[in-house]
Amino acid sequence: MSQLEIKDLHVSIEDKEILKGLSLTIKQGEIHAIMGPNGTGKSTLAYTLMGHPNYTVTGGEVLLDGENVLEMEPDERSRAGVFLAFQYPVAIPGVTVANFLRSAINSRRRAENSEDKGMPIPEFRKMLKEKMDMLKMDHAFAGRYLNDGFSGGEKKRAEILQMATLKPRFAILDETDSGLDIDALRIVSEGVNALSGPELGVLVITHYQRLLNYIKPQFVHVMMGGRIVESGGPDLALHLEEHGYDWLREKTAEETA
């Protein structure tokens, strides 16, 4: 079984330390949720895991089955089985969802075998239809230009479809903090529920405490001040919904005093 291990991770943006010793291990088949107030470094964690150049790792490590993820280029991370759903996906006018997905699959196949001719179109179409049916998506979606004029919910659907076709071992989903878009949260949650199973480890990052109405993580973590300050089961999310984060602020202050 695969595991993604984050050990004592320290990350800075423009010389400001944002992640201050974050540790977390996710095994294939597990669903973890990270919750926490705005500005605490949740998105920083997601971007760092995917290798965004603005985020400087100053300490700690990230290992995928013992291999150093931080030394891999973003495309290598993707091929190694790590998937990041973007909080703000970019539009690519002129490129359809189907073409985008086929290119992604084929470039991955070519990276593994330079002789590869790509997935035959009938096989690709069949696979895409199956995935769209599983996610209850209209087939017309595949013919639209990627994210071009998409609503927030449609962008999320495109991300989930990408995840379904690329079949990662680990998916990291960073939820939008602004506007608490319930529709987008529902779409992501349904997608995760449809795709989850023994092959997939999921990390859902959210600001939204009512997460448990939509998704069933086995592990819930609270992040504050760039670290995980509390971990528990689904009951922790319910507790947060009722009591907010203040009780943890006090607890964290006691620990550092």
For residue 47, which phi and psi values (nearest 5 degrees)?
-65, -40
- Footprint on residues 26-65 left by ligand ADP (CB under 6 A): 36, 38-44, 54
14 binds ligand ADP (CB under 6 A): yes
44 binds Mg ion (CB under 5 A): no
Residue 117's binding partner among ligand ADP, Mg ion, none (Cβ under 5 to 8 angstroms by kind) is none
Least distance to ligand ADP, CB of residue 236, Å = 17
Stretch of residues binding Mg ion (CB under 5 A), selected from 37-45, 54-62, 151-159, 162-170: 37-45
Residues with Cβ within 8 Å of residue 162, at least 6 apart in sequence: 83, 85, 100, 101, 104
Residue 114's binding partner among Mg ion, ligand ADP, none (Cβ under 5 to 8 angstroms by kind) is none
Residue 39's binding partner among ligand ADP, Mg ion, none (Cβ under 5 to 8 angstroms by kind) is ligand ADP
User: Contact 226/20 with Cβ under 8 angstroms?
Assistant: yes
Least distance to ligand ADP, CB of residue 97, Å = 27
Least distance to ligand ADP, CB of residue 247, Å = 19
Instruction: For residue 150, give the amino acid letter.
Output: F
Of 214, 197, 123, nearest to 163 (Cα)?
A: 197
Choose between 18 and 26: whose C-beta lies nearer to ligand ADP: 18
User: Contact 206/33 with Cβ under 8 angstroms?
Assistant: yes
x-or-dash string of contact with Mg ion, 129-168, rule CB under 5 A: ----------------------------------------
Q: Which single residue is written with the structure tokens 């699959």?
A: 105
User: Contact 218/233 with Cβ under 8 angstroms?
Assistant: yes
43 binds Mg ion (CB under 5 A): yes
Q: 224-239 burial, b if ≥16 CB within 10 A, otherwise e?
A: bbbbbbbeeebebbeb
Burial class of residue 47, CB neighbours in 10 A (0-12, 13-18, 19+): buried
Site residues, Mg ion (CB under 5 A) = 42-43, 177
Q: Point out which residues bind ligand ADP (CB under 6 A).
A: 13-14, 16, 18, 36, 38-44, 54, 177
